[in-house]
Amino acid sequence: MSLDAEQSQPVLQSYVGFDSITSQIEKKLLKRGFQFNVMVVGQSGLGKSTLINTIFASHLIDSKGRTQPDEPTRQTVEIHSFTETVIENGVKLRLNIVDTPGYGDQVNNENCWEPIIKYIKDQHSSFLRKELTAMRDRFIQDTRIHCCLFFISPTGHSLKPIDIVVLKKLTEVVNVVPVIAKSDSLTIEERIAFKQRIKEEMAFHSIKLYPYASDEDDDHDQALNESIQDLIPFAVVGSEKTIIVDGKTVRGRQNRWGVINVENENHCEFIHLRNFLTRTHLQDLIETTAMIHYESFRSKQLLALKESGQQQQQQHHHH
Amino acid sequence: MAHRIGRRKNVKKGFQFTLMVVGASGLGRTTFINTLCDADVVPKRESDEPDMAHVEEGIKIKPYTVELDEDGVKISLTVVDTPGFGDMIDNEYCFQEILGYLERQYDDILSEESRIKRNPRFRDNRVHALLYFITPTGHSLREIDIELMKRLSPRINVIPVIGKADTFTPIELADFKKRVMEDIEHHNIPIYNFPFDPEEDDEETIDENSELRSLLPFALIGCEEEIMVNGRKVRGRQYPWGIVEVDNTQHCDFAKLRFALLSSHLQDLKEITHDYLYENYRTEKLSRSAENLSE
């Protein structure tokens, strides 16, 4: 063992074998499976359900849109969650999709975001309670929302006042990834201008979007995050239908004037969003939910508990 | 039938027509107006500062007048734009503003009619048709759509249209149109549906009106720029996957709606406004005043 003035790492004289810990962990995790909770927020008719089904390449959820004339125009935002387990190469992913139908569809949308924020906080709350229980489970079931996909209507103008209000509230409690829905109604020029405008507005309102910069990031992570931040909001098109393009079967939409290939990067940014959510940042979304949002919630709660406990003690003393 | 006679009579003098356009921002309302008039009637929204996005500006009512020439027939067209509708968090106020505007025009006629000395330069500002832009959700009508059409149809001819219809595939469009019309029927919303009399009207009129009725709600795409397609200059939108042509009836219903509004059904819309909608308002208002006097 040689030690320099600069603490250098000891050199191993022979193979120890602890490098197998990564595959030991992998084996354990494969057995346990992973949990990913994603929430979709946006006005009805923006293709939320279709996009989820397109990202995970399977029919997971049905659209909640109003289709029958005798269905009431929804009065409240009812939050539904659906769990499906999908398997890929032996990796089990338990997907929990939380839909928030009815948001922004009423004449008066005052406070329609409250049930959504409450739902997110309730999951943190429930997790905290389970953690604090004396006899707690070995693995607490995680229902905390790891990612909130926020759907922006493709108006081509700017964010709406309701979008700004909700984005502000959401980014305080959850990882928010904004997408421009049904972007096939925007020409490329319009899309570029619209994105630029949205970015300016978000910057103006100091809306903090995922991914967040971290001290742990190396150059590669930083570069990746910067390219993601450049792309956000993702201009997407979803489709569960397939069409044949150049002999290949792809997911797309067929119009009288052309064929939109969802998986073509020149048509829309679906591939980027899909890769971002599932291939590069899936683990980070789960981790930052626990380490940033949950921690923040937890410390506020525990502080509040401590303070109310102290207040009660003081009241006792005075009596 | 009446509209054809009217046309022959007034061809030299030209016509006056007022159209109101209502719909949430971003549905192509403004572009439609400019496309309809083939001119920059409504100025492009100035790039507001990003600090304005969260400000709820409320609805504004803005009339613009253009002189058009439709195949030799002069039309003085007034288009009333309503920016801000549906953009606020609480949109209840928007309805009142629009209704108030429509009724004020009726009130002006009412008071002018009752004058002993008439004003020779009096302008009739009554609105003859309202194009309501439905969001292309792919589901059915939203609460705000139903409320607006229900509340305004007693005062004006409401014609529902689908804004930015190029977001639909042909099947999706057909399904959406069907669902919207079922919804309109279910909620008993008396929209303007190109009425005809199967007994009285000639076959041509019946066919024409049936076709227009079957197109409801009209699928609209707006475009102010011209691009080259196969050596021709067309008004269209260029996407990476193809070009949508505004004037191509296979792509959207713009051309048919325009012809109906500015030629074939202009008179009908005006007559219904005067003989029916205005009359109803007049009767309601005068009976109310009569009731108030007798109390």
Residue B47 in this model has a pLDDT that exceeds 70: no
> What is the DSSP track for B51-76?
GGTT-------EEEEEEEEETTEEEE
* Model confidence band, residue B164 (pLDDT cutoffs 50, 70, 90): very high
Q: How far apart are CA A285 and CA A241, in angstroms?
A: 29
Pairing of strands A259-261, A248-254: antiparallel
pLDDT at A70: 80
pLDDT at B267: 94
pLDDT at B168: 94
Q: Are B73 and B9 in contact (CB under 8 A)?
A: no
What is the least distance, in Å, from the CA of A43 to any CA of chain B? 9
* Option in B87, B140, B242 nearest A161 (CB): B87
* Model confidence band, residue B77 (pLDDT cutoffs 50, 70, 90): very high
Q: By CA distance, what is A206's nearest residue in B? A: B51
pLDDT at A5: 54
Report the residue of A70, A75, A155 to disrupt the B interface, i.e. the one with the largest count of B CBs within 10 Å. A155
Give residue-wise pLDDT tens across range B181-214: 999 999 999 999 999 998 999 999 999 999 999 9
For residue A137, report the phi and psi dihedrals to the nearest 5 degrees.
Answer: -65, 155
Residue B1 in this model has a pLDDT that exceeds 50: no
Mean pLDDT of A119-144: 88
pLDDT at B5: 44
Residue B9 in this model has a pLDDT that exceeds 70: no
Q: How far apart are CA A50 and CA A72, in angstroms?
A: 22
Residue A74 in this model has a pLDDT that exceeds 70: no
Average pLDDT along chain B: 89
* Option in A154, A156, A201 nearest B53 (CB): A201
Residues of B in Cβ contact (< 8 Å) with A157: 25-26, 45
Q: Are B217 and B160 in contact (CB under 8 A)?
A: yes
What is the least distance, in Å, from the CA of A66 to any CA of chain B? 6
Mean pLDDT of A16-39: 90
pLDDT at A180: 96
Residue A134 in this model has a pLDDT that exceeds 60: yes
Cβ–Cβ gap A105/B143 under 8 Å: yes
Q: Over pLDDT 70: what percentage of chain A?
A: 96
ipTM of the complex: 0.84
* Model confidence band, residue A182 (pLDDT cutoffs 50, 70, 90): very high
Which of A20-24, A111-115, A237-241, B118-122 is predicted with the least confidence, judged by mean pLDDT? B118-122
Cβ–Cβ gap B240/A160 under 8 Å: no
CA B24 to chain centre: 14
Mean pLDDT of B225-236: 88
Residues of A in Cβ contact (< 8 Å) with B24: 155
Give residue-wise pLDDT tens across range A187-236: 999 999 999 999 999 999 999 999 988 777 788 888 888 889 999 999 99
Which of A67-81, A133-147, A305-319, B161-175 is predicted with the least confidence, judged by mean pLDDT? A67-81
- Mean pLDDT is highest, among A147-151, B140-144, B227-231, for A147-151
Residues of A in Cβ contact (< 8 Å) with B176: none
pLDDT at B4: 46
Report the residue of B239, B248, B249 to disrupt the A interface, i.e. the one with the largest count of A CBs within 10 Å. B239
Q: Closest Cα partner for B243 from B219, B221, B258?
A: B221
Which of A305-319, B18-32, B57-71, B98-112 is predicted with the least confidence, judged by mean pLDDT? A305-319
Which of A131-140, A196-205, B116-125 is predicted with the least confidence, judged by mean pLDDT? A131-140
**Residues ≥6 apart with Cβ < 8 Å to A271:** A263, A265
Residues of B in Cβ contact (< 8 Å) with A160: 53, 87
What is the least distance, in Å, from the CA of A198 to any CA of chain B? 8
Q: Closest Cα partner for A221 from A231, A230, A212, A233?
A: A212
Q: How far apart are CA B222 and CA B235, in angstroms?
A: 9
* Region label for A308, one of left (φ > 0), alpha (ψ between -120 and 50) or beta (otherwise): alpha
Please classify residue B63 by burial: count the beta carbons closer than 10 Å to its beta carbon, then call 0-12 exposed, 13-18 middle and 19+ buried: middle
Q: Is the dihedral of CA A268, A271, A272, A276 positive or negative?
A: positive
- Mean pLDDT is highest, among A92-106, B3-17, B119-133, for B119-133
For residue A21, report the phi and psi dihedrals to the nearest 5 degrees.
Answer: -60, -30
Cβ–Cβ gap A256/B91 under 8 Å: no
Q: Which helix (H) or strand (E) holds A207?
A: none
pLDDT at A111: 87
HSE of A263, CA atoms in CB hemisphere, 13 A = 13
pLDDT at A54: 94
Q: Which residues pair with A84 in a beta bridge?
A: A95
Residue A3 in this model has a pLDDT that exceeds 70: no
pLDDT at B20: 97
Residue B55 in this model has a pLDDT that exceeds 80: no
* Option in A106, A155, A187 nearest B25 (CB): A155
Q: Between A27 and B174, where is the model more confident?
A: B174
Q: Say what angle helices A161-171 and A114-132 make with each other, to 10 degrees.
A: 10
pLDDT at B48: 62
Residues of A in Cβ contact (< 8 Å) with B88: 161
Mean pLDDT of B148-153: 95
